[in-house]
Amino acid sequence: MAQRADQTDLTDASRGKRLQRVMADAGVGSRRACEAMIENGEVEVNSKLVTKLPAWVDPEEDHIVVAGRALPKADRKLYIMLNKPSNTLSTNKDEPGSDRRTVVQLVNHPAAARLFPVGRLDYDTVGLIILTNDGELANRLTHPRYGVPKTYRVTVKGELDEAAIKELERGIYLAQRKAGQTDGVAKTAHVEIELIARDRERTVVSLTLREGRNRQVRRMLAAVGYPVRKLERTGMGPVRLRGLPRGGWRELTREEIRDLRKSAAVAYREDKKPNQASRPATQRGGQGAGQGSVGPNGGSRRSRKQNQPKKGPYVSPNAGQDVHIRNRTIKNAINRAGNERGFVPKPIVEPDESSEQGQ
């Protein structure tokens, strides 16, 4: 009993988890919102008011009260793969006054946990999206520091030539927006492209990127003169979309969860790209074998990563719009990103985005 009498000393990190994380895991709100509630005097631990952070608690032993109500035990961690259909929002709720379908509404899990989507896909973009109640893993999967790759199957209008492919691999200057206004331009990071099919009418490629800018895939291809007709996300890290109809969902397997955690365990280093990170996904795990894959430099490379599973069966998306966008060079793209008075680009540091934007 003497040992438990000192339960209200919350400064010892060995006690367990941070208080705001326990609250967030129990569905109270985001960590930032939970921190605000603590600092505003709305949280008690073992009948003692807590107003300072950090505070460490044992969620199994401590009695936590938030706004006068006892905190329920945290839900078990769930990891859901959803094959997102078109015309669906990648959020928990729609804006007030609207009644559009959301990805959360499509997942009727018997555990009734508070799930949220990991990153975003555009309203019309289809394919893989992961939902979970594990905030720690969700942050790692979307934070640019960890550079977890996202793979898309893209169909564009026209015959995508080698010059455009090289330009996409080197990087495209795209406008950045803050508070609804253009705030300079920045070059996209290296992307990995696999050519799947090409003729005069259309080109199909597999594109892998490690960023999460708003509508990045569509904007990059539009910048080189090839508007996107269809866009489907087929992979996140080592997890691949397979065996699910559009709108269907399932829990991730134990192996998929383990591999997903492993892919987000170490920060991605761009300076090691030529030796470790620049290989196309199709040549790291045998994905796309027999489809005439093309590496970033036109040649094959021997794989060093072994945790990339083979690509599963593909179901072509029905979404996508044919938007006529005229071809323009990088120079024109930079000019268009500026204001009417003329913008002279300066070296720009990409903002530290904590969540992936829609593609």
Give tens-digit pLDDT for 28-66: 888 899 999 999 999 999 999 999 999 999 887 889 999
Answer whether residue 211 is part of any domain: yes
| Tally of structural domains, the chain | 2
Query: pLDDT tens digits, residue range 309-337?
Result: 444 332 333 333 333 333 344 444 445 44
Tokens of 283: 């040549």
- Rounded CA-CA distance 311/316 in Å is 14
Identify whether residues 135 and 16 lie together within a single domain: no
Averaged over 254-260, what is the pLDDT? 92
Q: What is the pLDDT of residue 126?
A: 96
Domain boundary among 50, 70, 90: 70
For residues 178 and 131, the model is more confident at: 131
Please check whether residues 112 and 242 belong to one and the same domain. yes
Report how far residue 122's alpha carbon sits from residue 216's, in angstroms, rounded to the nearest whole number: 10
pLDDT at site 310:
43
Give the number of residues written for the chain: 359
> 138 and 15 in one domain?
no
Report the percentage of the chain scoring pLDDT > 70. 71
Q: Which of 154-163, 260-269, 272-281 shows the lowest mean pLDDT across its residues? A: 272-281
Does 251 score more than 90 pLDDT? yes
Strands 43-45 and 64-66: antiparallel
Residues 12 and 137 in one domain: no
Is 63 among the domain residues? yes
Domain contains 348? no
The chain-wide mean pLDDT, for the chain, equals 76
Asked if residue 196 has pLDDT above 80, the reply is: yes
Please state the rounded mean pLDDT for residues 100-111: 90
Q: Tell me: do 34 and 181 sit in the same domain.
A: no
Q: Which of 258, 210, 218 lies closest to 235 in space, CA to CA?
A: 210
The residues that are catalytic are 122
Q: Are residues 165 and 122 in the same domain?
A: yes
Residue 20 in any domain: the answer is yes
Q: Is 89 in the same domain as 64?
A: no
Q: What is the CATH number of the domain that holds 255?
A: 3.30.2350.10
Same domain, 66 and 93: no
Residue in the block written with tokens 């705030």 = 183
Both structure tokens of 257? 């969860």
CB 236 within 8 A of CB 196: no
Does residue 342 belong to any structural domain of this protein?
no
| Burial group, residue 178, by CB count within 10 angstroms (0-12, 13-18, 19+) | exposed
Same domain assignment for residues 20 and 57: yes
Q: Are residues 252 and 201 in the same domain?
A: yes
| CATH number, domain containing residue 25 | 3.10.290.10
pTM: 0.59
Give 188's pLDDT tier (boundaries 50, 70, 90). Answer: confident
| In-domain check, residue 308 | yes
Same domain flag for 34 and 178: no
> At what angle are helices 135-142 and 254-263 packed, to 10 degrees?
50
Residue 346 within any structural domain of the chain: no
Average pLDDT over residues 243-272: 86
Within-domain flag for 344 = no
Q: Say if residue 170 is in the same domain as residue 137.
A: yes
> How high is the pLDDT of residue 266?
80
- Is it the case that residue 74 has pLDDT exceeding 70? no
Average pLDDT over residues 122-145: 91
Confidence of residue 71 (pLDDT cuts 50, 70, 90): confident
The whole domain housing 274 covers 80-337
Q: Where a domain ends, among 70, 90, 111?
A: 70
